[in-house]
Amino acid sequence: MIRYYVRVSSMEQKTDRQLLAYDGADKVYIDKMTGATKERPQLQELLAEVSAGDTVVVKSIDRLSRSTKDLLDIVDSITTAGAGLKILDMNIDTHDKFGEFFLTVLGAIGQLERKTIKERTKEGIVIAKSKGKYTGRKKGAIALKGEPLERFNRFYGLGMNKAELAKEFNVSRPTIYKWIDELKARGEIKEA
């Protein structure tokens, strides 16, 4: 099955250019939101449905992600499922040796980026500690019990989306996803 993924950054932007670029798809997935996060409904659906022998097609690599780490995770999900990836603008298809080589280079770049970030973080902590400015990691969570938990459950149960929850609790959307996962694991959240 050929699965074509299309993404634009906002609801106002048009998908026409991408849709006209490829017409051989069995199924088209369209997200109208930023590529800075991989938490996109249609992308998640694609990744859940992709299976061995499928080909995922994108017009350009930045349609999959604007983050190298997320891009590597997405590509890994596709290849782990036994599917291939075709990037139209770069004429890359992972079904051939050059496409496989591209993925290897992409993986190496991602690994270098992760190591560099880790080293810089450690260096920054050492400097901050030496100046007495490092107090440890910021707390990214509310006390997930009592009244805050009840309030979170109530809003989540009413179907409030992740962006609205993040705004209500004054945290980032990734923090909201972590809370939901943690609360589900603890059995303390009611399904929306």
pLDDT digits 0-9 by tens, 95-152: 888 888 887 787 677 677 778 888 988 898 888 888 888 766 555 555 566 777 788 8
Radius of gyration, CA atoms only, the chain: 20
> Are 7 and 84 found together in one domain?
yes
Does residue 179 form part of some domain? yes
Look-up of token digits 């004054």: 170
- Decide which of 125 and 45 is more confident: 45
Domains of the chain: total: 2
pLDDT at residue 40 greater than cutoff 90: yes
Residue 51: active-site member: no
pTM: 0.57
Domain encompassing residue 55: 2-104
Report for 47-51, 78-82, 109-113: range of highest mean pLDDT: 47-51
Distance, in Å, from the CA atom of 110 to the CA atom of 67, rounded to the nearest integer, reads 10
> Are 36 and 87 found together in one domain?
yes
Would you say 86 and 93 are in contact if contact means Cβ atoms under 8 Å apart?
A: yes
Would you say 108 and 68 are in contact if contact means Cβ atoms under 8 Å apart?
A: no
CATH of the domain at 160: 1.10.10
- Decide which of 113 and 34 is more confident: 34
pLDDT, residue 107, reads: 67
> Are 88 and 151 found together in one domain?
no
> Are 19 and 96 found together in one domain?
yes
> Are 20 and 91 found together in one domain?
yes
Residue 9 — pLDDT band, cuts 50, 70, 90? confident
Q: Taking all residues of the chain, what is their mean pLDDT, rounded to a whole number?
A: 85
